Chain A
Amino acid sequence: MRRGWTPLLVGGAVVVCTFALAQAEIFAPSSPAGTETVGDVSRGETVFQRECASCHGAGGSGGGVGPRLVGTGIDAATATAIVQQGSGVMPAGLVSGRDEADVVAYVVSISMP
């Protein structure tokens, strides 16, 4: 094989490995068995920064239109209800499905006093 192909082949192999790693999400926290509605805190942080941080502040630290969430002791049921039904100026259903479960998990994790 001509030597010039080596960078292309090695680079291609690295791309395939990276994609496989990304698909595996090996360090993504998984849901405990039988509790598939439990969200993923790390993913929830990403969703939160994208959808919620503009009002609740980065990391839920407040400073925007929405209240501070850090250390407020919100439980999963309350967070889910607020996400689904809205509250005050917060519209209902800002996130849904897996994003909702993940962002609720994240909000619960930061709201623990």
Chain B
Amino acid sequence: MPLADVAETYTDLVTTVFSSAIAAKAWFATAAFALAFVQVTTAARIYGRLRFLSERGPAIARVHRWSGRIAFLCTLPVFFHCVTILGFQTPDARVALHSLVGTFFYGMFAAKVLIVRDRTLPAWALPTAGLTLASMLGVLWFTSSLWYFTNVRFGF
């Protein structure tokens, strides 16, 4: 299959559910952003914050891990369309900021995953990496999905 056809096939695939490839991205990114919120709140509970959340222990750790995995999966179609089809663009400040933060997003994700497993690092490293990653996802959502929902249309 020629490389150019991959883009067409992807667009055909997502438009079986969504009105356009952009709409699909907006909703996948929204799901990832919502799950990032779950990630931050469950991580805070694991660290002994947000005591109004009743449970602390294996269940909340499981929710944290699975919300992270599903959030990561939700970002993959967005990554595919943004990086391999559209590329790095700077036509205006919003798109330039989105491109810049998007370029660093998976690097931060890889670093965070490694920090989780590295017990030699200081205690502040993991929450800092997690919050940075969630903030980056927030910036990406505000500069893409929110823009799409408010400037183009709110719908599938």
Binding site for B on A (CB under 8 A): 3-4, 6-8, 10-15, 18-19, 21-30, 41-43, 45-46, 49-50, 53-54, 57-59, 61, 99
Point out which of B7, B21, B82, B120 has the most chain A C-beta atoms below 10 A from its C-beta.
Answer: B7
CB neighbours of A43 from chain B (8 A): 85-86
Number of B interface residues, CB 8 Å?
Answer: 45
Establish whether residues A58 and B19, one from each chain, have CB atoms under 8 Å apart when the complex forms: yes
- Interface of B, secondary structure class, is helix
**A-B contact list, 20 entries, CB within 8 Å:** A4-B118, A4-B121, A7-B112, A7-B115, A7-B118, A10-B110, A13-B107, A15-B107, A18-B103, A22-B83, A25-B84, A25-B86, A25-B87, A26-B3, A27-B6, A27-B10, A43-B85, A45-B20, A53-B153, A59-B19
Establish whether residues B86 and A49, one from each chain, have CB atoms under 8 Å apart when the complex forms: no
A-B contact count (CB 8 A): 117
